[in-house]
Chains A and B, each alone.
Chain A
Amino acid sequence: MSEAWLVIAALAVATIALKAAGPAMVGNREPSPRVLAVTGLLAPALLAGLVVYETLGAADGPGIELDARLGGLAAAVGALVLRLPMLAVVAVAAVATAVLRLLS
C-alpha cells in the first residue's frame, strides 16, 4: 500500500524539520531572562494541553468525546495522590478504563 509509505516518508522528514527548526534558527546565545521566564513554563503548559487532548480528543477531526478515558484520568489522579510510581499510575489508568468499557 503506497499511500502508507508516502505518509511515513513525509512524516519522517517533517518531524526532523519540526524538531530542527528552533535549534537551527536561535543559535547558542544565552536567552534573555524574559525568554527564560517563558521557556521554563512551556513544559507544564504543553503537558496540560496534551492531557486534555488525550482525554477528550475525538479520534477523527475536531470534537470532544466523553468516554471511559475520563475514568482512566480519575484513576491516574488517585494513583498520583497515593504517590505511586509512573508505571503503577499508567497501569491503574489502563485497568480502570478497560473495566469501565467492559461494564458499559
Chain B
Amino acid sequence: MTVTTVQVRARSPIADGVRAGLPLALPNIALGISFGVLAAPVMGAGAAIAMSVVVCSGGAQFAAVSVLAAGGGALPAIAAGMLVNARWVAMGFAVGPYLPGSLRARVLQAQAIVDASFVIASRDDGSFDRGLLIGATLPQVSSWMAGTVVGVLAGPVLGDPDALGLDAIFVAFYLALLWEEVRRRGAYAAALGGGAIALVLLPVAPVGIPVVAAAAAALIGLRRA
C-alpha cells in the first residue's frame, strides 16, 4: 500500500461522514435505550429490537409505540409513524439529485437519509454531499440499534425513562444541530418560520404534520434566488 492510497482513503467523504456522525453516537444510544425501555412492555422484547433494526427511525417509532401503548390500534399507529417520517420525502427530493447510479442504487442510498445526516450533508449552496450523508448515518444507526437492545434488557432496572429526562434528549439533539445551521445565510429566518409553523399547527394537526409543514419555511429562499 502506498502513501497516496492512505491519504485518499483518509480523505474519503464517507470516512469524513463517519467522523462527523460519531459525536452523535452516544446521544443515539441514550435515545435507543429510552425506546427499548418504553417499547418492550408494549410490544415485547423481540419486536422492540426488530423495530429499531428494520424501521430504524426514532421519531416514528416513539409515535407508533405511544399509540399502541394507549390502545389506539395498529392502523392509527402506522399512520402516526408514517406522518412523523413524512419529512423524509422533502429531504429525499433535496438530496435526490446528488445520489448517482441506477434507480435501484439511488433508492438504496436514499435509505441513509436521517435527520442529522441530512444536516451534515447539506452544503451552504443548497447541494448535498452523498459521502457525508452515508458516512454520518452509519454510527447513528448502529448506536440506535445497540441502545434499543440495552434498553430492552435494562428496562426493568432503569424504570421510567422520562424520570431520567431521556425524552429531553431529542429536544437538545435537534436544537444543537439547529444551532450550527442558523449561521448559514437566510437560515435564521427559515428556522423562525419553521418553528412558528410547527407551533401554530401543533394543537390542531395530527402528529407529524406540524414538522412536515415547517419545511414550507424554506420557501423564503426564493426571495433571494
Which listed residue (B42, B179, B216) contacts A45, Cβ 8 A?
B216
**A76 CB contacts on chain B under 8 angstroms:** 168, 171-172, 175-176
Q: Report the nearest A residue to B220, measured CB to CB.
A: A41
Interface membership of chain A positions 22-35, coded 1 if the CB is closer than 8 angstroms to chain B and 0 otherwise: 11111111110111
**B151 CB contacts on chain A under 8 angstroms:** none
Q: Report the nearest A residue to B122, measured CB to CB.
A: A43
Contact B191 A48 (CB under 8 A): yes
**B219 CB contacts on chain A under 8 angstroms:** 38
**B107 CB contacts on chain A under 8 angstroms:** 16, 20, 23-24
Which listed residue (A16, A54, A89) contacts B176, Cβ 8 A?
A89
Contact B218 A38 (CB under 8 A): yes
Q: Give the contacts of B169-215 with A (CB-CB under 8 A).
A: 169-179, 181-182, 184, 186-188, 190-195, 197-199, 202-207, 210-215
Distance of A63 Cα from B204 Cα, bound (Å):
7
Contact B202 A93 (CB under 8 A): no
Q: How many residues of B contact A (CB 8 A)?
A: 116
Which listed residue (A29, A47, A50) contacts B97, Cβ 8 A?
A29
Distance of A51 Cα from B23 Cα, bound (Å):
19
Contact B187 A7 (CB under 8 A): no
Interface membership of chain A positions 2-34, coded 1 if the CB is closer than 8 angstroms to chain B and 0 otherwise: 011111111110111011111111111111011
Interface residues of A, dominant DSSP: helix
Query: Max chain B CB contacts within 10 Å: which of A39, A76, A86?
Result: A39
Q: How many residues of A contact B (CB 8 A)?
A: 83
Contact B43 A4 (CB under 8 A): yes
Distance of A64 Cα from B199 Cα, bound (Å):
9
Once A15-B55, A31-B126, A89-B176 are accepted as A-B contacts, the answer to whether A54 and B170 lie under 8 Å apart by CB is: yes
**B56 CB contacts on chain A under 8 angstroms:** 15
Contact A62 B204 (CB under 8 A): yes
Contact B215 A12 (CB under 8 A): no
**B156 CB contacts on chain A under 8 angstroms:** none
Distance of A99 Cα from B164 Cα, bound (Å):
8
Contact A22 B89 (CB under 8 A): yes
**A86 CB contacts on chain B under 8 angstroms:** 23-24, 27, 173, 176
Interface membership of chain B positions 73-97, coded 1 if the CB is closer than 8 angstroms to chain A and 0 otherwise: 1100110011001111111111111
Interface membership of chain A positions 46-78, coded 1 if the CB is closer than 8 angstroms to chain B and 0 otherwise: 111111111111011111100011001101110
Contact A22 B91 (CB under 8 A): yes
Contact A4 B68 (CB under 8 A): yes
Interface membership of chain B positions 57-83, coded 1 if the CB is closer than 8 angstroms to chain A and 0 otherwise: 101110010111010111001100110
Q: How far is the CB of A42 from chain B (nearest CB, A)?
A: 5
Contact B171 A69 (CB under 8 A): yes
**A92 CB contacts on chain B under 8 angstroms:** 172
Contact A47 B178 (CB under 8 A): yes
Interface residues of chain A, those whose CB is within 8 Å of chain B, are: 1, 3-12, 14-16, 18-31, 33-57, 59-64, 68-69, 72-73, 75-77, 79-80, 85-87, 89-90, 92-99, 101-102
